[in-house]
Amino acid sequence: MEHVLEVQSVTKKIDNKTIVDSLSFHIKRGEILGLLGPNGAGKTTTMRMIVGLASITEGDIFIEGHSIKTNFKQAISKVGVVVEAPSFYPFLSGYDNLKYYARMAKGVTVERIKEIVELLGLEHAIHKKTKTYSLGMRQRLGIAQALLHRPSLLILDEPTNGLDPAGIREMRDYLKKVARHEGTAILVSSHLLAEIELMCDRVVIIQNGKHIKTYDITEKSAQEEITFIVGDAEKAAQVLGKEFEGAPIRVKDHALFIQMKEEDIPSVVKALVSYNIDLYYIYRSKQSLEDIFLEATGGNIIE
């Protein structure tokens, strides 16, 4: 099964208020998916439904093909979750906290603890008491704990809250490592664009509980915008509009912005030259997630 998580037209209503509205998305094995939206968009509620902490009003959620409604036990056995800032026994070491937790989980061996400690780069801190840990280290230990039983889906609700930029970068690096090494599908929520763009492969943008856009960060070429600086941009737009039918072209002063593939640049240049249009510069101007987010949401909900 390629989709570890499948959210199918899920709706959540509380007292007649629709909090999540027919939301659908999926996560593939080894993929890091960001759930992005402003505060109150419904991210936490969606995650609570995925782990069975909140009931589903309509629709269904499948984890490794098991319905959370009809096959809860099997579905939830594949999930690791860090919903709030993780708490530990402060006077025990990180290692003893993991060992203590492992006793409650099925089939977690000492070897597995060692493997996860190494994967998350916790070796240098693991024998220190957790009360000495920074927030970033506590997050890392919480994620280690959630991964001990080899879940195929890891869920993190706003994991970068309170972390400094260095901490966020570290988290991104070790999450990518986890996704790659263990094939874990990771769902991360955030209300911060820049963080999610750095951390995820794909982003589902939600607003008022509704799915408004999916953005594939790994599929860069599809989002690529090439800028041409020309003598007569209006004329150039006319010419290219005819030559490359349907190509999205914007004009501003002497600049021509075209969403296109890089390999089509030579034919655009030829067309411009053949119509005697002066060409000064060509450069790539990738649309940022922020542009896409603003475009999709009407530009009024960034926090």
Ligand X SMILES: Nc1ncnc2c1ncn2[C@@H]1O[C@H](COP(=O)(O)OP(=O)(O)O)[C@@H](O)[C@H]1O
Distance CA(153)–CA(60), nearest Å, equals 17
Nearer to ligand X, 43 or 78 (CB): 43
Q: Which of residues 24-53 bind Mg ion (CB under 5 A)?
A: 43-44
Residue span binding ligand X (CB under 6 A) among the ranges 37-45, 59-67, 217-225, 248-256: 37-45
Nearer to Mg ion, 56 or 148 (CB): 56
Distance CA(102)–CA(202), nearest Å, equals 32
Query: Smallest distance, Å, CB 58 to ligand X?
Result: 16
Alpha helices in 30-121 (DSSP H): 43-50, 72-76, 94-104, 110-119
- Check residue 207 for interaction with Mg ion (CB under 5 A): no
- Check residue 19 for interaction with ligand X (CB under 6 A): yes
Distance CA(20)–CA(207), nearest Å, equals 9
Partner from Mg ion, ligand X, none contacting 130, C-beta within 5 to 8 A by type: none
Nearer to ligand X, 41 or 102 (CB): 41
Nearer to ligand X, 97 or 189 (CB): 189
Q: Is 160 within 8 Å of 171 (Cβ atoms)?
A: yes
Partner from Mg ion, ligand X, none contacting 151, C-beta within 5 to 8 A by type: none
Partner from Mg ion, ligand X, none contacting 105, C-beta within 5 to 8 A by type: none
Q: Which of residues 119-138 bind ligand X (CB under 6 A)?
A: none
CA distances 202 to 13, 14, 28, 197, Å, are 27, 29, 10, 8
Distance CA(77)–CA(94), nearest Å, equals 24
Q: Which of residues 40-79 bind ligand X (CB under 6 A)?
A: 40-45
Question: Quick one: CA dihedral 65, 84, 218, 207, positive or negative?
Answer: positive
Rg of the chain over Cα atoms, rounded to whole angstroms, equals 23
Residue span binding ligand X (CB under 6 A) among the ranges 36-44, 64-72, 95-103, 285-293: 36-44
User: Which residues of this chain interact with ligand X, rule CB under 6 A?
Assistant: 14, 19, 37, 39-45
